[in-house]
Structure 1
Amino acid sequence: MEEAAQETFFNQEADAIAAEKVIQEIDTNTAKLKKTEARFYSLTINPSQREQAILQNPSTDLKAYTRELMKEYAKSFHREIDGRPVNAKDLKYFAKIEHSRTYKGTDKAVRENQSYIAKVAKLENDIRKIERGELAGSVKATQREIERTRKAAPHQQNGRMVETGMPKAGAQTHVHVIMSRKDQSNRYSLSPGSKYKASEVEFNGKKVKRGFDRDRFFQKAEQQFDKQFGYKRHYVEQYQARKTLLKNPDAYVKKLWQMAPSQRKLGFQILREAGIKTSVPTVPVNQAQLAAKVLKQIKKGVSRAIRSGSIEI
């Protein structure tokens, strides 16, 4: 049996949880929620290729990491349950490890290949019409045109045009976590999407704490990974560095340029592996030149929301 087929749901306390039980537990833990309110939230633990390379046993290691991470997730709520801080035992969540990913239509590689994909689809349809006698032309010539189109596509994987449904190459182990909006007692609402970082509000004459500290959670996520697996995280992989890039891009680039040559080279390599097209200047340049040439490339590639290298909510 393949490893992927053996994976089952787990939570903080138990392993081998049936999918049917997960559905039932999430669906019935919705007391006093409005129809327009989310019943659950999803969290993805998505280690990079560099992070995965350090894991000895991806399934075992990521299961242990998930359980430690959910402790930090609970601590990131500025809430109290029965007069005490939220802890991992209050969470109703279920997680599952998966070992493969396929390209989706929203992936950059697929989007940039789309005109080629569409042309191939048209040519394949032309072949069917030629075979039915509805269109004049040569099947072999059309097949050769299909091959030329596939090879011309900008994004290739193992000699094949990247398209929707194609399995992604490399280590793709990741964890999907489904978290009920309500706690285990089905009394308290715990929303990681809260716009309130940490504050208090008066409710029914009582002061109630509210909010979720996303910054804390993302920072603790990478700190826990690094501590648990002895990972040496480069500056460009750090959550705080990504925030610096948005708030003070000049400081971000200056930090890169002040690194030892080997570390600077590694930093740009990591950025390229993340899909950000960059080139390292081969001769020293001043800060203005560096900002004009390199920063523009980096900022163009950073189009998604800031997150930890391993975590998405």
Structure 2
Amino acid sequence: MYINITDSPTSDNKGSSHDLVHYLEKENRIDKEIQPELWFNQDRTTISAFDTRQAIDNNIAKLSKQDAKFFLLNISPSQKEITWLKERYGDEGAKEQLKAYAIKVMDEYANNFKRPGINSSKDLRWFGKLENFRYYGHKDPEVKQGLKKRGERKPGEQMHIQIIVSRKDITNKIKLSPKNNSKGRNAEHSRKMGQFDRSAFKQSGERVFDEQFSFDRGLDETFKYANAKKKGLLDERVAMRTERIKNETQCKPALKPEFTPLQADSQLKLSFGKTQAETAPYIPIKKRKKKSKEQEQDQGLTF
């Protein structure tokens, strides 16, 4: 599960959300054959693009021109996770389940701030948009090499959700920034500033998915493993590698011990009473008689 928080990849988040909302409507404009996807939150599932933009742009009380007005959250399940959902709920059911999951992710987003009055997605001003596909852009290697054209669909399962969340809470009074990871001078100062632990948030998103859909996530598919591999200290990387080897060993079926020759003889004794060596017929070996000197002379063996 890939969960990322950005300012905005397509427009300045210090102004209106118009450009970003318009960009996220691209699938409804491009793919006329599919049913248009409307915006949703914890209360409604049929919100228009216009209402989304108006609600975000009007929720900016006491924010300066240089303050971020909103943030973009990307919730992208892996192809394995999407396949798991579709096998259990079907194509349309998987979409609804992913939207329900997004609401729980926003519950975790709210709780991560540890601010009084900010306890769930209902305390936030946010709107989600499900997208069925991804498209090649001019930065993709395939486009640069001339193998694909800009705007073509990418292969495989690409269903994901984009969420615009306001910098201010739903009351338009409390500032909330997921970019604030300052621990402050002390615990009290951190609570006042609204510290946000992005790593903990991403891990909680994985946990919620696994619990909600009974998904068996391997260690090497976790954010914790990937983060330790990329950014962790040596001790963390060694610990994760050790845990992975331990898990792989536990998952392997027990191998039957191979018989040694001694074990084979013991088994034969139990089955037949005697080993092969003990049951073989006795063949006496005749000793060769030493010829006398006279016999050797007769046969011309001496000179």
Residues 262, 208 of structure 1: CA spacing in aligned structure 2 closer, same or farther, 3 A cutoff? Answer: closer
Instruction: Please name the residue that 2:171 is paired with.
Output: 185
Structure 1 position 44 matched with structure 2 position 94: no
| Residue in structure 2 matching 1:31, options 37, 61, 64 | 61
* Structure-1-length-normalised TM-score: 0.61
Instruction: Please name the residue that 1:214 is paired with.
Output: 198
Instruction: Please name the residue that 1:99 is paired with.
Output: 132
Residues 71, 106 of structure 1: CA spacing in aligned structure 2 closer, same or farther, 3 A cutoff? Answer: same
Residues 257, 215 of structure 1: CA spacing in aligned structure 2 closer, same or farther, 3 A cutoff? Answer: same
Q: Distance in 1 between matches of 2:121 and 2:250?
A: 41
- Contact conserved, 2:177 with 2:194, CA < 8 A, in 1? no
Deviation per residue, 1:271-290 (Å, 9 max, x gap): xxxxxxxxxxxxxxxxxxxx
- Contact conserved, 2:59 with 2:172, CA < 8 A, in 1? yes
2:109 aligned counterpart, secondary structure: helix
| Residue in structure 2 matching 1:168, options 150, 154, 179 | 154
- For structure 1, the 5+ residue unaligned runs are 118-160, 265-313
Q: Distance in 2 between matches of 1:255 and 1:3?
A: 47
Q: Distance in 2 between matches of 1:4 and 1:98?
A: 11
2:188 aligned counterpart, secondary structure: strand
What is the correspondence of 1:66-145 to structure 2 with a 5 Å cutoff?
A: 66-81=102-117, 85-107=118-140, 109-110=141-142, 114=144, 116-117=145-146
Q: Note the C-alpha offset of 1:263.
A: 6.6
1:223 aligned counterpart, secondary structure: helix
Q: Distance in 2 between matches of 1:214 and 1:259?
A: 27
2:189 aligned counterpart, secondary structure: strand
- Contact conserved, 1:244 with 1:251, CA < 8 A, in 2? no
1:66 aligned counterpart, secondary structure: helix
1:92 aligned counterpart, secondary structure: strand
- The structure showing larger relative contact order (alpha-carbon pairs under 8 Å, at least 6 residues apart) is 1
- Count of aligned pairs: 210
Instruction: Please name the residue that 2:98 is paired with.
Output: 62
Residues 16, 238 of structure 1: CA spacing in aligned structure 2 closer, same or farther, 3 A cutoff? Answer: same
When Rg is computed on C-alpha atoms for both structures, the one with the higher figure is 2
Instruction: Please name the residue that 1:298 is paired with.
Output: none
Q: Distance in 1 between matches of 2:223 and 2:183?
A: 17
Residues 239, 209 of structure 1: CA spacing in aligned structure 2 closer, same or farther, 3 A cutoff? Answer: same
- For structure 2, the 5+ residue unaligned runs are 1-30, 253-303
Instruction: Please name the residue that 1:306 is paired with.
Output: none
- Contact conserved, 1:98 with 1:174, CA < 8 A, in 2? yes
2:168 aligned counterpart, secondary structure: coil
Deviation per residue, 1:167-198 (Å, 9 max, x gap): 11111110010001011111111111112257
Residues 162, 184 of structure 1: CA spacing in aligned structure 2 closer, same or farther, 3 A cutoff? Answer: same
What is the CA RMSD across the aligned residues, in angstroms?
A: 2.6
Instruction: Please name the residue that 1:201 is paired with.
Output: 189
> Partner amino acid for 1:200?
E
Residues 255, 44 of structure 1: CA spacing in aligned structure 2 closer, same or farther, 3 A cutoff? Answer: same
- Contact conserved, 2:176 with 2:194, CA < 8 A, in 1? no
1:52 aligned counterpart, secondary structure: helix
Q: Distance in 2 between matches of 1:243 and 1:182?
A: 30
- Contact conserved, 1:197 with 1:213, CA < 8 A, in 2? no
Q: Note the C-alpha offset of 1:2.
A: 7.0
Deviation per residue, 1:107-155 (Å, 9 max, x gap): 3x33xx62x33xxxxxxxxxxxxxxxxxxxxxxxxxxxxxxxxxxxxxx
Q: Note the C-alpha offset of 1:78.
A: 2.5
Residues 232, 26 of structure 1: CA spacing in aligned structure 2 closer, same or farther, 3 A cutoff? Answer: same
2:192 aligned counterpart, secondary structure: strand
